[in-house]
A and B are shown apart, each in its own frame.
Chain A
Amino acid sequence: MKTFIEKFAPQLRFEGEIVEVDKHYFLLGAGMEKVEEEVRTSSQLKPCYSGIYLGRSKKEKFYPSSWLLQQAAKLSDKKAVVNSKAEWMLICGKDVWGENIVSSTIDSGDVLILNKHNECIGYGVIEHRGKRKYIRRLFDIGDLLRREHLRKL
């Protein structure tokens, strides 16, 4: 999570305690911390979900939550806006090809991917294949549905 934040929004600051539960990260505000502590004192129970969800890590890769993506996008100077066709392809897990990139603040490297409404829908890396520019997808918000679908199988 640190690497993700340093890459895209190093100036991002959190108010509250960051809690980890089985490689899932949460931001817990002061009021909720008190309730959580009371429960833990009374029962030894630990929550499986606590406060603002920041994301999860798996095999060295970080999967940010939608909340964290939007916070990072507000502050980041590494953004690419894609069109509606690319938005749909991205949330289906596909890369974004050059003709579908409406604008980008950088020409290569790590980038947050935004739709035409300036909502962050994923992140990736701008690369070039010959003269052709594209964004290699690393993460998209379609991950939510794919995770749920996999769990049901």
Chain B
Amino acid sequence: MTSGKDFFLERYRKLGQKFSPQAVKLSKTIRVNPLVKPEKEVLERLQAIGVKLKRIPYVKHGYAAESRFSLGAITEHLLGFYYLQDPSSQFAVEVLDPKPGELVLDMAAAPGGKTTYCSQLMNNEGTVVALEMKNHRLPSLMMNLERMQSNNVLAYFLDAREVSKLGLKFDKILLDAPCSGNFATDKDWFEKRDIHGIKKSAEIQRKLLSVAVSMLKQNGVLVYSTCSLEPEENELNIQWLLEQHNVELEHIECSVASRALTGVFVKKLYSSISRCLRFWPHRTNTQGFFIAKVKLK
């Protein structure tokens, strides 16, 4: 057996996690955008129209939001006051910590949630180079950049594997890699995925990781993230990265996340991989997620 719900749940059990997927219920969450409107005003506006907000403590601008109407269909959303975004995704950008004046690369940008958060944390100063290789995803990216008033972005229609063509080196690189996803955000995930597809995905991710490392300035930071729970796309890729490149991992801390795995099935990995983080949906109430922070040695 290489696919199906039982197959994957048994894998997770072997990784130390026993749970029922039905028990996972994600809240709607937003990231407030002070580039357009001060945070306090956004909160007051939303509360005045009946949106119930609860602060998410481990991210800087994140709130769980409850409303009787769609949060994507009101003026406040159209004007860019907030972005509907999972807290794990928000956290990945906070780990990257892009600063005003820096040159930042977002290797797989569409639809723009993390790109726009980079602009926000940079206060629209410096430059974000955003790449997207799928033509049909470019309109969403451009729409979100416009809506969120991300004014420091240069977006290119380019396969991130060819990023060396740009002739630049970056202070910060975000590789939120295309991956197989997770069951928390896709109710048909268990039926759609199999181990062969996951391994293929991991091969592409390794190519992207190699290229990303080559584009870093000497004191630059690379954040590698996926919304996958599969160790082939996460810890095993980081193990490979540490074996193949002269890089090291930086410790990341988050009150709700779990340490990444240093033992995957029968394989023992470098202990430094525990510096990375995993978001298990049944523990964090977020999508499945993995984050690693990498620096050149």
Which residues of A does B touch, CB under 8 Å?
Answer: 29, 31-32, 35-36, 38-39, 41-43, 45, 47-53, 65-67, 87-88, 91, 115, 117, 119, 121, 141-142, 144-145, 147-148, 151
Q: How far is the CB of A87 from chain B (nearest CB, A)?
A: 6
In the complex formed, the residue of A with least CB distance to B124 is A52
Interfacial chain A residues near B142, Cβ < 8 Å = 48-49, 53
Task: Sample 29 A-B pairs with CB under 8 A, ordered by A number.
Answer: A35-B129, A36-B154, A38-B168, A39-B167, A42-B167, A45-B156, A49-B141, A49-B142, A50-B153, A50-B155, A51-B153, A52-B151, A53-B142, A53-B145, A66-B146, A66-B147, A67-B151, A91-B75, A91-B78, A115-B75, A119-B75, A141-B75, A142-B78, A144-B143, A144-B146, A145-B78, A148-B139, A148-B143, A151-B139
Q: Which of B75, B147, B156 has the most CB of A within 10 A?
A: B75
Contact B166–A42 (Cβ < 8 Å): yes
Q: In the complex, given contacts A66-B147, A147-B143, what are 20 additional A-B residue pairs having Cβ atoms less than 8 angstroms apart?
A: A39-B167, A42-B165, A42-B166, A42-B168, A45-B166, A48-B155, A48-B156, A49-B154, A49-B155, A53-B145, A53-B151, A66-B80, A91-B75, A119-B75, A121-B75, A144-B143, A144-B147, A145-B73, A148-B140, A148-B143
Q: How far is the CB of A68 from chain B (nearest CB, A)?
A: 10
Q: Which chain A residue has the least Cβ–Cβ distance from B158?
A: A45
Contacts of B139 in A (CB 8 A): 147-148, 151
Please report the C-alpha to C-alpha distance between residue A17 and residue B273 in the assembled complex, in whole angstroms: 46
List residues of chain B with CB within 8 A of the CB of A32. 127, 152, 154
Distance (whole angstroms) from the CB of B40 to the closest CB of chain A: 14
**Distance, CA A11 to CA B291, complexed state (A):** 48
Give the total number of A-B pairs whose CB atoms are below 8 A apart: 99
Cβ-defined contact, A35 with B151, below 8 A: no
Q: Which residues of B contact A (CB under 8 A)?
A: 45, 73, 75, 78-80, 103, 125-127, 129-130, 136, 138-143, 145-147, 149, 151-158, 165-168
Bound CA span A52–B138, Å? 17
Find out whether the CB atom of B149 lies under 8 angstroms from the CB atom of A45: no
Q: Are A43 and B140 in contact (CB under 8 A)?
A: no
B259 to chain A, nearest CB (A): 37
